[in-house]
Structures are given as structure tokens and as C-alpha cells.
Amino acid sequence: MSYVYFFLFLLNLKKIPLIFVFLPFIKYQINMVGLKSRDLLVYNTLSREKEPFEPLHSPFVGMYVCGPTVYSDIHLGNCRTFISFDLIYRYLLHLGYKVRYVRNITDAGHLEGDRDEGDDKFAKRAKLEKLEPMEIVQKYTLGFREVLSLFNTLPPSIEPTATGHIIEQIEMIKVILDAGYAYEVNGSVYFDVEKYSKEYDYGILTNRKLEDLLEGTRELSGQDEKRGRLDFALWISAKPETLMKWPSPWGVGFPGWHIECSAMSTKYLGTSFDIHGGGMDLQATHHTNEIAQSKACHHSEPVKYWMHTNMLTVNGVRMSKSAGNGFLPKELFTGDHPLLERGYSPMTVRFFMLQSHYRNTLDFSNEALQAAEKGYKRLMGSIATLEKIIPSDVSTVDIASLEKNCYAAMNDDFSSPVLIAQLFDAVRIINSCNDKSETISSEDLIKLKEVMHTFVFDILGLTDETKSMTGSNVIEGLMNLILDIRRTARENKDWATSDKIRDELKAAGIEIKDTKTGAEWRI
């Protein structure tokens, strides 16, 4: 506090405006971020092109990602979205941005149909499992967090729930009603899309005209309370048997799905913030309606950069429950599914997902997962090898260019596949230096270790699962025994036994390498 009083004394004595006292510190913070981030390009769904990343209030960044609807186990499509935004979050933090990452939990108000029809997903699941709705919420929220923990994703800064923000949603609906963009019918409140469209472009996110959207929507039935075919619920009147309901100015009911994210993002990030993300399946309805609600309430663009992840396929066919080709993360880990030959570790799956750009379709197959497993183990093995390298006086490798290329990959809309390609170039360098076909100086060796640690662990978010395997005393003892048997066979010129041991271990995922000082092994 003494520094604060000193500054206030200076201001009073010299009549210096406050901004000039703190300007050097502010400039320093902004320049530190700008050193590495000035070339960052982000693909904006809104403009349909890559744009320079310029936060509204640099170095602060507000990022909102639509979280799970916790009425069932998290599916792989969700995992891909959250792993992708974990990569984005990690890189922004690495660049020096102060990121507030908000990812909601939808625990109420999500009906089975996007047209505000069908049963509430939580109530339906609660009846099936004979539990209270909030028991369902707790069960699947814990499961969601457990799976993301296995994938080594960083937790968000704030994880708000829809049920914890009913008041904020009601207040937002009041403003939209007062502005004339919504109407109330029998205790329910609906957003008037056609009236909104007289002033704003409702289809701006998907680049579709209102006439086309109306043409693709079926006529309202005589029983429908809505005035227009595209209108959507902000608040839904509850039936007597409804399990989850709250009092409101329009009667007892529950919020519509879309209003939840608008209310929570506004509360924690303001009426305009930097990044809003989610799966591409949310563009046409959920995110389109979020924009409409926010503009109707605040009369400004709510988000600067809209970012969306692409869908998953299995052997070329879109992954879905109806197609019978969907599997859960834990089934992927255990291999307990008809489409899987065996299980794959969480880091193998994370590495597999990061091999594809977040905006590209990702195709699951046993062959692709097994190739990713080999690549992941090779990457981890090279990092272990890195610790064994003895530096030379001069370098014949270019580490500065490697680092530059890694940043260039991430600055091009977070291109993780290009980054991984650069890291495998680093693997080649590591192996060459270890084999003495290339040399590396002490300074460059330190830099290479820094580059690998930064991009493999801090940014890609991988962990070394092989350490838990190789660190076991039992495995170490077994491998020493096997290598001793193989050494004896080689001394006796029993090449058949020697080769058989090498080949069988390779098939099991263990590589044997013969060196001048003896045989070495690695997972």
C-alpha cells in the first residue's frame, strides 16, 4: 500500500494524470505479449477467413466455450472440442496473455429437440435411472471432469452452471422483452426472429439468408404457441409434473437452452469478449441464437472471434449413436467395443486428435490409432534420448530455425499437425546428435531441450506415459534379464535366438538398439 500512497502523493504534487504514472508498466506488459503473438492468425467463422488476433483489451483475453450437457457420459466429439480449446488456451497463456477461460455446465433447460420440443433431457434420464435430476447432473459432471483429467486438459478459470444463474437469465429475458424482440404466451417467452431480422442479420454466422432459413423450416402446427417458424424459447412454462422449475415474472418454468450461455458469458466476460468456441454442430442453431439474444439485449457484437471444431468420423462414416459407430472415451481406453481391436491410452488418443487440425474432420480407425501410438512413443523416446546427448564445441544443426518453425505453425490458426511435423524434425536432429552423425553445442542443446519441453508438454499438453512403464523396478529387472540372455546368445553366435528376442520385443512395442557399450531398450 505504501507504493499506492506514494503514487497518489506524486499525482497531487505534480498534477500528473494517473495514466502517465502507470503507462510504462502497461506498455511493458503489452510489449511482452506482442513479442511472440504479433503474427498469430485465427480463423473466424463469422468472417470465414483468418484474421490477426487482436484482443479487445490486450493483454487480457476472454474465452467462452460451450460445455457439456451433463445428462449422459461425455462423447468423443465433446472431447475433441475440449482438447482443441485446451491447446488454444495453453498457447495463449504461453504467449503471455491473461486468459479468463469460461466453460459452462448445462444442467437444465436442454430439451431433446432444437425446436423446443420433447422431454427435458435431465428429467428423462432421472426417471429412467430413478434418481433426482441433480443426482444425474452430479454423476455425469464428475465423469466429465474425470475424462478430461485423463486427457490432461487444464481446468477453465470459471465453470458456471445454468441452474446457478437463473436470476441472470430472467433479467436478460426482461431486457429483451422490453426491447420488443420477444413475446410472452401462457407463461412462456419466445424470441421473435423475424422482428429481430428487420434490424439485424439473423443468419450472419452461417452466411444464410432469412428466406432460406424459413424455407427449410416446417410450418407451425395449430397447437404451437410461436408466431414464427424460427422463433425459439427464452423461458418455458412448466407442467405440474416438471421436475426442474423456478419462479419467474411469467410463472413457474425453466430457461431455454440458448439463453443460458448468453447470460453466463455476459456475466463473466462482459457484453463483448474475444473468443467463443464450440463444435461446428452448434453454429446453425445454438450460436446463431446466442448472437441474436445478445444483440437484442446489448445492441453490440457479443464476440470478436467465433471458433468451431469439426466432426468425427469412424472409417469414413460420421460418428453417431444412430449409425452404431460411436464409442465412449473409456471404451476407447479399454478397447471394450466391437469396432476396436484393443485399447489405446489417453495420451495416444490426445496425440492422435492433435495430429489433425481442429477445423478438419478427424477419422478414427484402428490403423490410425496404432500409427499415432507409435508416433507418440517415438516422440517420448526422443525426449529421453535428449538427456543422453553429450554436447560438442560447435553445432551442425539449426535449432533457431526449428524454434521459429514451431511458432509459425501455432501462429497459423493453432496448426498442431504442422507443429507435430516440426517436432519430428527435432526427433531426427536428436537421433543424429546421439549417433554422432551431427553435433550440437551446449547452448543449442539447452535451447533444444527448452523447445521440446515447451511445445510437447506445455503447449500440446502431452505427458510421458512411458515413464510409468519404464520406471517400474519389475520391468527394469525383466528387461535386464532378457537382454542378458540375448547377449549370451550373441556371444555364442546363436543369431536365431538373438533375432527372435529382438523381433518379439519389437512386436510388443519395445525397441532394442545395439551400441558400442551394449544393448539399450525403450518403449
Compute φ and ψ for 441, nearest 5 degrees: -80, 165
How many H helices and E strands in the chain? 19, 15
State the Cα–Cα distance between residues 522 and 6, nearest whole angstrom: 61
8 A C-beta contact, residue 229 and residue 218:
yes
For residue 487, what is the DSSP state?
H
Burial 172-189 (b: 16+ CB within 10 A, else e): bbbebbeeebbbbeebbb
CB atoms within 10 A of CB 433: 25
Flag whether 66 is marked binding: yes
Burial 317-339 (b: 16+ CB within 10 A, else e): eebeeeeebbbbbbbbbeeeeeb
Strands (E), 167-272: 182-185, 188-191, 232-237, 253-255
Flag whether 433 is marked binding: no
Q: Say which residues have a Cβ less than 8 Å from residue 251's Cβ, sequence separation at least 6.
A: 187, 237, 238
Flag whether 290 is marked binding: yes
Q: How many angstroms separate the first and last alpha carbons of the chain?
A: 55
Among 312, 409, 428, 332, smallest CA distance to 373 is for: 332
CA 312 to the chain's CA centroid: 14
Residue 156 zone, left/alpha/beta (φ > 0; ψ -120 to 50; rest): beta
Q: Which residues are registered as beta bridge partners of 422?
A: none
Q: What is the dihedral of CA 448, 411, 35, 20, to 10 degrees?
A: -150
* Alpha helical stretches, state H, 255-413: 257-269, 288-298, 329-334, 346-354, 366-386, 399-411
Flag whether 476 is marked binding: no
Residue 307 zone, left/alpha/beta (φ > 0; ψ -120 to 50; rest): beta
Which grid coordinates are listed for 227? 408466431
Flag whether 49 is marked binding: no
Residue 423 zone, left/alpha/beta (φ > 0; ψ -120 to 50; rest): alpha
> Cell 402446427 maps to which residue?
221
Among 65, 62, 24, 59, smallest CA distance to 38 is for: 59
Largest CA distance in the chain: 92
The total number of residues written for the chain in this structure:
523
Burial 198-225 (b: 16+ CB within 10 A, else e): eeeebbbbbeeebeebeeeeeeeeeeeb
Binding residues for ATP: 321
Q: Which residues are annotated as a binding site?
A: 66, 261, 286, 290, 321
Annotated binding-site residues for Zn(2+) read: 66, 261, 286, 290
